[in-house]
Amino acid sequence: MFSGIVEELGKVTAKIKIPEGYRFRIKGKKAVKKLKISDSISINGVCHTVVKKAKDEFEIVSMHETLKKTNIGELEKNAPVNLENSLRIGGELGGHFVFGHIDDTGVITAIKQIKGAEDKKDSDNWEYWIKVHKKHRQFVIYVGSIAIDGVSLTVAEIKPVKGNYFELKVAIIPYTYKVTNFGNYKVGDRVNIEFDFLGKYVQNILNTKINQK
């Protein structure tokens, strides 16, 4: 389990095709220091198991099922990735509970920088619109929690369903822009999405009660 507070941007140093999928080697500093073999770590919001570690690098294996559901298979050598170690008992929870089990991917449709006053340059923010399949609309609520590539965020706005998709907006502060992949995104990029698990459980309970009537 994770909190959606990215600890650092790591970098893919190797991508090796194997029968099970891909084996990745990733370099980092802060997050890697805490790791040992068999630990869980979030890579762009996807929970992986550390299978090897050496100094400031570690290796993970992404299976075919993970590659089908996420953007992990699109990573290439030198690609930046969001890293977060799993929560420890007694650790601080700064975002929301994130499991690292991706529900689907979305596509960034617009990026806009919101400039602050000239004398407050550090107040500049960014807005990102993300297109998501309509089957997930029930799990998205205004000012509710959502994890985008492992980053815990708040839904700032939602557009109505149009065709098979709807769009949601998240706002990014300068700090998050600098320390996560949001500073590297472009329109058209695909991102991993995990909806708030509390909402999914509530919806499952309601659907079960309705079906039992």
Among 36-45, 85-94, 176-185, the minimum mean pLDDT is found in: 85-94
> d(Cα 208, Cα 213) in Å, to the nearest integer?
9
Token code pair at residue 156: 């700032």
Among 136, 139, 132, smallest CA distance to 106 is for 132
* DSSP symbols for 49-102: EEEEEETTEEEEEEEHHHHHHSSGGG--TT-EEEEEEPP-TT----S--B-S--
> d(Cα 164, Cα 134) in Å, to the nearest integer?
5
pLDDT, tens digit, 9 for 90 and up, residues 142-162: 999 999 999 999 999 999 999
Evaluate if residue 122 carries a pLDDT over 60.
no
- In the 8-state DSSP scheme, what is residue 2? B
Q: What residues does each domain of the chain span?
A: 8-85, 104-212
pTM of the entire predicted model: 0.88
Fold of the 8-85 domain: Elongation Factor Tu (Ef-tu); domain 3 (2.40.30)
Neighbouring residues of 129: CB distance < 8 A, sequence distance ≥ 6: 108, 109, 110, 111, 159, 167, 168, 169
CA 66 to chain CA centroid, nearest Å: 14
Domain pair 8-85 / 104-212, same fold: yes
CATH number for the domain whose boundaries are 104-212: 2.40.30.20
pLDDT at 87: 76
